[in-house]
Amino acid sequence: MIVDCLPKPSTLAGTVECEARGPTSVIQINRYSWDEPREALFKPDTPIVDIVLSRRKASLDCSFLELSRPESRRVGDILFMPPGYTLHSRWDRGARRSMCCVFDPASVTDLFDFDWGDRKLVASLGIDNAIIRGTMMRLVSEALEPQFASALLIESLCTALAVELRRHFDILDKDDAPIESEGGLSHNELHRIRESLEDEDASNPTTVARLAQAAGMSVRHFSRLFRASTGGTVSEYAAQVRIERAMRLLCEERLLIKEIAFRCGFQSSSSFSSAFRRATTLTPQQYRAARLN
């Protein structure tokens, strides 16, 4: 095993819910709880990507000290930490559950060996990419419910995750890649879009036209900026948000499957089950059983 341990700041104590190791990667699902605000400096020597799994979570503000203007920003659900850069973190008291993936630096050196300027470092604090999110959620499902050849699949998913992260950062080098100062979709706008999608149900589905109107843009312009910001289409992103919401609701044993399907915007339990299985390789019932156990 090349990756011997998962590096963490000393102040970031928590409980490891589960762990899976491969030849070139480690993934962990962790639970944290703090009774008072804290802060830490963290300079990893290996690439790390983290996704928040809890809906209600302790707020986290971060900045890389190597930025020309290292101002703290609210971190999104997916945080990437490039090796050799110092992350200054502040978080409130509360609880947080997340999954992180640590890559062996020798195996991904070429993927992340580029100039980490301000644009990429700021983007690392809030990655909103449907493909990356979907890959990480598949890792969560496989870690929680190992099946045939799980180790092989997890290693393959980690490799795919590293490639998708590189592609995501490559988009930022394109002239039409939006950033907040250029009038593109800001982190706040992306957060509002996600909230709209999470609050929808089958009787009132969210449409691209409605999202574009709320952002004050034409559908075409909104869709172009959204794709450049997230790496996917609005429909792909919406599908992933629905599955993630369903994952959280499935942990509430009192809710019926058909009720969860309706809350997540599906017209029937069968369409919900089909979509859930395509995204996670598990049926809703199998996922619920694994989580409740």
Domains in the chain (CATH in brackets) are: 15-171 (2.60.120.10), 184-292 (1.10.10.60)
pLDDT level of residue 181 (50, 70, 90 thresholds): very low
Can you point out the beta strands (E) in 22-125? 25-34, 38-42, 48-52, 60-64, 73-74, 78-81, 87-91, 94-103
Say how many C-beta atoms besides its own lie within 10 A of residue 104's C-beta: 20
Residue 293 has a pLDDT of: 60
d(CA 31, CA 290): 17
pLDDT level of residue 48 (50, 70, 90 thresholds): very high
Which pLDDT tens digit goes with each residue over 223-243? 888 887 777 788 888 888 888
pLDDT level of residue 4 (50, 70, 90 thresholds): very low
Mean pLDDT of 24-49: 89
Residue 1 has a pLDDT of: 32
d(CA 124, CA 111): 15
Which pLDDT tens digit goes with each residue over 123-135? 999 887 878 888 8
- Between 138 and 180, whose confidence is greater? 138
- Reply yes or no on whether the pLDDT at 179 is more than 60: no
